[in-house]
Amino acid sequence: MPATPALPRPATSLVRRARKIDRVLAETYPDARCELDFDNPFELLVVTVLSAQTTDKRVNAVRPTLFAAYPDAHAMAAAEREKLEQIIQPTGFFRAKTESLLKLSQALVERYDGEVPARLEDLVTLPGVGRKTANVVLGNAFGIPGITVDTHFGRLARRFGFTEETDPVKAEHEVGMLFPRKDWVLLSHHLIWHGRRVCHARNPACGACPVARWCPAYGEGPTDPVKAAKLVRTEGRA
């Protein structure tokens, strides 16, 4: 893999504004965390794969049954396809997801004796695991700094002026230069929580936004506090 080209140092004013926004979001969402339930790295890897094109709540609902039947990679690698499909059907695209989970579990057994590797370079070689999923697992299961650029994070990073990049990897590197590595995991949660609750893709609740005064995109949604308050969700997507 070619080395990532060096990026120019960001302006001091941007760094200060970005870190101020993150501090306010940290105060706004003191409980910000991964909204997928998990007990170990294998569970987090699996539920993250399942979370594609669905909600965390739906994934969390099937999780107890799923891991009661297949508690580790060895068990899931030997799963009967039909039974696995039946369990994860509520998450949508269940046939494709079943194929991904079977291949993923088999690869973990064959290459890593069933254990989830704690290196980005290894994780992204696994079937169905991209850089976003790898960073979720590294940051939340292993405590290894990483930035999770999902649709919410990318949207907010651009609205806040942290980056203009639409490519997730380029955005990850540009945003990473604005913050200390130790803050990357919580930064990801802060932006994702804010994106799910206030800064929606359509009709963001600008008038109820705690970081509105520092946001270049202020005004994309209603600025009237009463109208904006009606758009605020008290939790992530149902």
Q: Which residue has tokens 């359509």?
A: 202
72 assigned to active site = no
132 assigned to active site = yes
* Distances in whole angstroms, Cα of residue 78 to Cα of each of 69, 95, 115, 207, 220: 11, 16, 15, 52, 50
CB of 130 closer than 8 Å to CB of 94: no
Annotated catalytic residue within 150, 167, 182, 230: 150
CA atoms within 13 A on the CB side of 220: 18
Annotated catalytic residue within 132, 183, 224, 230: 132
C-beta neighbour count of 234 within 10 angstroms: 5
The SS3 assignment for 94 reads helix
* Distances in whole angstroms, Cα of residue 1 to Cα of each of 4, 121, 221: 9, 10, 41
| Residues designated catalytic | 132, 150
